[in-house]
Structure 1
Amino acid sequence: MKPAAETGGGTPPVPPPAPQPASAAEKTTDPKRIIVRIHSAPPHHNAGGELALFSMLRPLAERGHRVEVWLSRYGKARDPYLLDGVLVVPLASRLDFGAAIRHADVVISQYENVPAAAALARGYGIPFVALAHNPAPVIFKNIAAGTTALVVYNSLHLQAEADAMFAERPKWTRPARSIIVRPPVFAQDYATTPGDRITLVNLNEAKGGGLFWKLAAHLPDRRFLAVQGAYGQQILRDLPNVDLIDHVAADRMRDEVYARTRVLLMPSHVESWGRVGVEALASGIPVVANPTPGLSEALGDAGIYAEANDLQAWIASIEALDDPATWQAASDRALQRSKELDPSEDLAAWVKAIEEL
């Protein structure tokens, strides 16, 4: 996922995406203008929700749709740039989002931008698509406000939580249609030969940063890798058996993180899916995880589970993987689960649903 060179300053209208390279995807005969509203985007912001979104937008661009992502927060980028055939328009470009959305065929949003994007789409009579990564009531209240054409859940458990929320609020209007698209991970982008480190990606408290440093202190004979995350207050320490590195962009994760990792830790307190864990599975890296509904669904039988507050359970899980036969069995399960999570069918259903709007 590498951006094309940023364009010059420019004023409206926004330039169309450059011609796309030849693709196995058959071009549509009815291209749509798809406007997406989110707060931040790769390559400057590499969180799971944004990476999943661009994995979903790429096949739409390959089909010949004009896909534009308009950012609502200031970031490092100032000028529009192309990423995987998708035009990204930073807030600092000062281009007119209101003018763009008036000419959209479909509007897509997620997280904090759902209320405003849904209202604009509703006002202009444009089909609105909400991507649901968590069961935040404020999002579902706005989804229920009237004209949401499609809700995309990232997991079965999140769909069940949303169904329960709608059942408890009979005055809320259920969206016309919903599908499940598990955060797409293309195994070939991440597969490598595992290394020798015990790794945590994102050192904030919600991701288990505190537990990570306790484990490293209790296991001084083992080598750890601490990767700073894209968001949240990072918990930083200085231990001789820990390599601490800065945030790593998505296209460098394979070589700079997974190629150094023997065991991945995911002691997240809350995790609606767990993209990092699925990326690690592609290399046969065993994942020790807190059994949140999302991680349990994502990792399945390949996961090794320990409660987030049970330090001894985490130590025992790591020590068990010292045995080569135990590690190999866990690695085999990881590779099998990676194959089961091939995103092709989910993405085909997603493209079909968008094109039917």
Structure 2
Amino acid sequence: MSVTARVYGYPPAHNAGSEWMLHSMLRPLAERGHRVTVWLSHPGTIEESYEIDGVRVVPFQEGSDFATEAQSADVLLSHFENVPLVSGLARARQIPVVVICHDNFATSYHNAAGADLVVYNSEWIRRDGEIHYARYPAEFLPGRTIVVRPPVIAEDYRTEPGDHVTLVNLNPDKGGDIFWQIAAWTPEWRFLGVKGSYGTQILPPTRLPNCEVADGVPGNDMREHVYGRSRVVLMPSLYESWGRVAVEAMASGIPVIAHPTPGLVESLGDAGIFAYRDDLTAWLYALGSLKDPANWERASRRAKARSDELSATPDLDLWCEAVESLYDARRRRSFHVAGAPPASLPLSAR
């Protein structure tokens, strides 16, 4: 089948968690033999079409034919601000539409109303979605909902931990200012701040000899350039609907200290070391405890166990089967309208 997506940006040029989650979901569809194309709605640094892991990407600079091409798709897909456009095209052509909800904002749920398949990135986002849709008439409810936790292939990130305390994305909401305060109070640690792909990046206010700032790192280079240098990962985020960086770090047994957002509590589970982002003393204490090799080893074992637990979830198989079922259902309807018996269509047709 032909799966066509319309999104703002895409790896490797757009290096954000939501986009890497999307790629991790489209990649197995391509591996199952489906034709997967992503059209970008914003100009990026890559100006010509390219392929990544079997997924064809059409940059904004070449993407003037999206509306025409979308009409021949078997399934349309989107997230964030492109959902209204894609949903409108899907309704006009009676094409199944898939919407990914990465957050619990009312706008996200509103835009996803009536989609054939809504994918939530965590159980808590699903619960909030059900509360939101409880006020809707039945005809506006999503046709089906599933949970797909942002897939992290542990082997792609697993490495020997390094010796730095690391924060990925130095913008204020991710805790860039808190990170440098912690660094100033703990000169016995070496700190690595990795610039993110969005938001104003906060640099250390004065030159700290124990600190290093690295430019943004593409997702497929994180193992070597980030996790291979990290002893501890900090996530003092104001909001995380899941926390992909935390899961990537745990693949290498790197302990994660995090502000207890609902997403980080769910993703880290028992492996999480939690401190409220406005309690600097708690962060200093938690980090100090990991200076003890025995404490670090215990935290590392919990991180690896949590990584193994998440890797064993059947989310990607569930995802692929859900998308394929939309295609199968559409073909059955087409055969029925044409007068052919619906039972003649193989359920696993691709």
Whether TM-score is above 0.5 comes out as yes
Give, as a single letter, the amino acid of the residue that structure 2 aligns with 1:158: I
Structure 1 residues 236, 69: CA separation in 2 closer, same or farther (over 3 Å shift)? same
Match of 2:111 among 132, 136, 142: 142
- Which residue number in structure 1 is paired with residue 189 of structure 2? 222
Detail structure 1 runs of 4+ shifted over 6 Å in the superposition: none
- Which residue number in structure 2 is paired with residue 180 of structure 1? 147
Other structure's SS at 2:134 match: helix
Distance 1:139 1:276 in 2: 22
Distance 1:57 1:165 in 2: 27
Structure 1 residues 123, 56: CA separation in 2 closer, same or farther (over 3 Å shift)? same
- Which residue number in structure 1 is paired with residue 165 of structure 2? 198
Give, as a single letter, the amino acid of the residue that structure 2 aligns with 1:203: L
Give, as a single letter, the amino acid of the residue that structure 2 aligns with 1:232: G
Whether 1:320 and 2:297 are equivalent positions in the alignment is no
Give, as a single letter, the amino acid of the residue that structure 2 aligns with 1:214: Q
Give, as a single letter, the amino acid of the residue that structure 2 aligns with 1:153: Y
Whether 1:278 and 2:247 are equivalent positions in the alignment is yes
Give, as a single letter, the amino acid of the residue that structure 2 aligns with 1:233: T
Distance 2:201 2:211 in 1: 15
Give, as a single letter, the amino acid of the residue that structure 2 aligns with 1:176: G
Distance 1:257 1:172 in 2: 47
Distance 2:61 2:275 in 1: 44
Whether 1:101 and 2:61 are equivalent positions in the alignment is no
Other structure's SS at 2:314 match: helix
Distance 2:26 2:7 in 1: 13
* TM-score, normalised via structure 2 length: 0.91
More helix by percentage: 2
- Conservation of the 8 A alpha-carbon contact between 2:40 and 2:63: no
- Conservation of the 8 A alpha-carbon contact between 1:115 and 1:139: no
- Which residue number in structure 1 is paired with residue 17 of structure 2? 48
- 1:112-150: CA deviation from partner (whole Å, max 9, x where unpaired): 111111111111110000001012222222222x4x110
Offset, 1:220: 1.7
- 1:39-87: CA deviation from partner (whole Å, max 9, x where unpaired): 0011101100000111110110011111000000000111110011010
- Conservation of the 8 A alpha-carbon contact between 1:223 and 1:242: yes
Other structure's SS at 2:116 match: strand
Whether 1:306 and 2:275 are equivalent positions in the alignment is yes
Match of 2:231 among 257, 262, 283: 262
Distance 1:202 1:306 in 2: 19
Give, as a single letter, the amino acid of the residue that structure 2 aligns with 1:121: A
- Which residue number in structure 1 is paired with residue 179 of structure 2? 212
Offset, 1:173: 1.9
- Which residue number in structure 2 is paired with residue 167 of structure 1? 134
Give, as a single letter, the amino acid of the residue that structure 1 aligns with 2:17: G
- 1:136-180: CA deviation from partner (whole Å, max 9, x where unpaired): 222222222x4x110000000000011111124457721010011
Give, as a single letter, the amino acid of the residue that structure 1 aligns with 2:86: A
Give, as a single letter, the amino acid of the residue that structure 2 aligns with 1:180: V
CA RMSD, Structure 1 to Structure 2 (Å):
1.2
- Conservation of the 8 A alpha-carbon contact between 1:185 and 1:343: no
Structure 1 residues 133, 172: CA separation in 2 closer, same or farther (over 3 Å shift)? farther
Structure 1 range deviating more: 87-96 or 163-172: 163-172
- 1:93-124: CA deviation from partner (whole Å, max 9, x where unpaired): 14400111010100000111111111111111
Distance 1:262 1:64 in 2: 39
Whether 1:291 and 2:260 are equivalent positions in the alignment is yes
Offset, 1:316: 0.2
Alignment: residue pair count:
324
- Which residue number in structure 2 is paired with residue 23 of structure 1? none
Distance 1:261 1:314 in 2: 17
- Which residue number in structure 1 is paired with residue 203 of structure 2? 236
